[in-house]
Amino acid sequence: MQCIRRQPRRTRSEELLNYERTKNVARMNLQLLGLEGDTDLKFLLGGGELLKLRSSSWMKARFYKLQEDCRTMWHESKTCTKSKQTFSIEDISAVRAGRQSEGLRKYTDELLEGRCFSIIFKGRRKDLDLIASSDEEAKQWVTSLEKIMSNLNNLNCQQKTQHWIFNCLRKADKNCDSQLSLEELKDFLHQINIELDDLYAEDLFRQCDKSKSGYLSEEEIKTFYNLLTRRQEIDEIYAEYAKTTGFMSAENLLDFLIKEQKEEATLADANRLIDQYERDDKAKEKQLMTKDGFLMYLQMFEGLVLNPTHKAVHQDMNQPLNHYFISSSHNTYLMEDQLTGPSSTKAYIRALVKGCRCVELDCWDGSDEEPVIYHGHTLTSKILFRDAIKTIKDYAFKTSDYPVILSLENHCSVEQQKVMAKHMSSILGSALITTPLEDQMPTEFPSPEALKGRFLVKCKRLNKLEVYFTREAAAVNDDTLTEEEDEEEDEEQQKAKKCKKLKIAKELSDMVIYCKSVPFNGFQDAKDNLAFYEMASVKEGKAIQLAEESANCYIRHNVDKLSRIYPAGLRTDSSNFNPVPLWNAGCQIVALNVQTPCPNMDLNQGRFLVNGKTGYILKPAYMRDQMSEFDPITLTRGPWLQHKTLHIMIISAQQLPKVNQKKTSVVDALVKVEIHGVPADTAEKETVHIVDNGFNPMWNENFQFDVHVPALALVRFVVEDYNYAFDNELIGQFTLPFTSLQLGYRHVPLFKDGEPLSSARLFVHIMIMDA
């Protein structure tokens, strides 16, 4: 892309013409988004100058404005070699008013609080720290950006498709004459991920070119759009049930809901769907559903593969804390790798917003008597412990109201441990659990419901919890206790260093109530000597070995205790292990590197997708029974064995994004369906690949799976771009619990790197039968 200074100058008349075209395009996009006349959007389209901050010596004025597509921000760059001067609104994770970022707090004065704001991006893109000319202007930027973000996120699939195709057509219209030539049509098809044979493209063009002018006018482009977006598979389903003069009556729709979708629906439910999704007022008055209304219903949450009732909290939240799988993060402060990557409070925000309920803080002595967090003995950067606790407090309960466990890996001196305790006490206040909830010595964990909005500290402790309920506390020498180095130390590091002794400050020790860190010396030792609140962290290799060789012992161990599993030290690239075998063994806190998108992270996201994204998933009853005979490896008979046959038909996909952004690149899509659960259930099947079509490929392929333990199974839909020479490239995926599948004809939304792909989806048919 040319830099601003090198762009050819337009004449005055060309500038006016371009201005009018741009204004018309923006107006059309605002109509499509339902924001025509909105003052906040007009402000963004006009743009303004902001100070961009990077460091104490780098603060420069830059112009920012919303482009006419109403989904892309353009910003001025003084670097002529810079290839990209835009970013998508959909790439923004959050807009934060004030000096909330590390950079703004470090490099600006408190007097600028009201003028500052930050744009936080998804993934690893660097965030923007910006300063407006006034408090009012900063508020306007924050309000306007949040409005356009909310609006784009809340568009239904049909609106997203219309908006996307309109802007692709506009980009294809190179000479901006509101017409499409055959060459421009081919360019448009490439943009939307279709490679058509030239003869077929010419035939399609001729069908639409009613005027025989050699160009498609506005009305002819609409005809072309209708041909392009026609869903043949939906037409066939609709035709089968539209028995009332070519339309679906409420009775016809009810028939479809019962026969195909296997729902316990009533006529009132069918009428509600017509009222909600039918766009044709005349049809709605007669309580009829058109084909467009039917498609709209299938693309909304009632028609998705995920059971909508499972999106809310639907499990019993009054069981003891250890009866739940708990969404957990390892080395939460890291943004990238474990050796040289940056540490940041943003990493805590990312984990907490994703629903993590156990975050890790590696604490070391810092300068000026302020403890710091970083990956010890590496080149990772450092953040203040105080800043991390402030950030955790601010974001802990944005996604979930349920308790957050602060897992402290403590390497600090006694004096700085006292500072840690002081910061936690002053910042977290009454939300921090510092005494047992009960008036007498508890015998089991409190429930997530009882701990709502509270913080638990996991760390070493000087003595037993029982001292709270005895007249004489256990004697402690000099307020400290020597302990072995943290159990997360790698074996190689342990051999290389002498056994280091660590002293524990009483002020920090007293904050450890329900999660006392202890070494793991085997299941029998734990049964004989450990209280319920004493928990061990075990490295992945040892934990997986225990889960394979002694699964039932592990399950019984976790009936009244907590287990935390963490990645091996050799995973310096922040890669992840497969969490499924550990969940199968009842382990609650399976900590992963949430900063690293990968199939194992997809499984974690799928496990905690349901129950209101609380970060707590109730384990099956047979994993909460001290006398349980369940063993995921041998699978003897018991209540866990509920053999099901899963039938999945992969019908089609819509609007798959390119994995290679070259103009001529088009995907060759294939679909894999994976089952993850106990070893007997683990399976994978895939379709053929469809050549040169990422816009609306069709497969109509059937798969069948046997699922023996449905309560532990996850289903993962994967869409890939086929490559005969190298590994296929991921286009998108979606993972959900087997027990949350909806039956019948369903759309499957697609995610990549943990974020939703705007309009991409699969269309499938699902049946589950007793085997």
Q: Active-site positions?
A: 330, 375
DSSP for 194-210? Answer: B---HHHHHHHHHHH-T
Query: 439 labelled as ligand-binding?
Result: no
Please choose, from the candidates 368, 453, 460, 457, the residue with its C-alpha nearest in 3D space to the C-alpha of residue 411.
460
Element (H, E) at 44: helix 39-46
DSSP H helices, 99-181, are 102-107, 135-153, 157-172
Give me the numbers of helices (H) and strands (E) for the chain, helices first please.
23, 30
Task: Give dist(CA 675, CA 646) in Å, integer.
Answer: 10
Task: Give dist(CA 473, CA 335) in Å, integer.
Answer: 42
Task: Give dist(CA 22, CA 32) in Å, integer.
Answer: 15
Query: 700 labelled as ligand-binding?
Result: no
Q: Does residue 29 contact residue 160 with C-beta atoms inside 8 Å?
A: no
User: At 316, which amino acid appears?
Assistant: D
Q: Does residue 487 contact residue 472 with C-beta atoms inside 8 Å?
A: no
Residues 6+ apart with CB under 8 A from 6: 80
How many Å is the Cα radius of gyration of the chain? 29
**CA distances (Å), 363 to each of 54, 355, 360, 595, in order?**
27, 23, 9, 20
Length, in residues, of the chain: 771
Query: 721 labelled as ligand-binding?
Result: yes
Per the DSSP assignment, residues forming a β-bridge with 650 are: 701, 764
Query: 564 labelled as ligand-binding?
Result: yes
Please choose, from the candidates 208, 326, 379, the residue with its C-alpha nearest in 3D space to the C-alpha of residue 617.
326
Cα four-point dihedral sign 349, 351, 352, 354: positive
Query: 409 labelled as ligand-binding?
Result: yes
Please choose, from the candidates 549, 588, 584, 545, the residue with its C-alpha nearest in 3D space to the C-alpha of residue 565.
588
Residues 6+ apart with CB under 8 A from 698: 232, 233, 651, 652, 690
Element (H, E) at 227: helix 218-229
353, exposed or middle or buried, with CB in 10 Å at 0-12, 13-18, 19+?
middle
Query: 722 labelled as ligand-binding?
Result: yes
Query: 327 labelled as ligand-binding?
Result: no
- Annotated binding site, which residues? 331, 360, 362, 409, 458, 460, 537, 564, 668, 721-722
- Annotated binding site for Ca(2+), which residues? 331, 360, 362, 409, 668, 721-722
- Annotated binding site for substrate, which residues? 458, 460, 537, 564
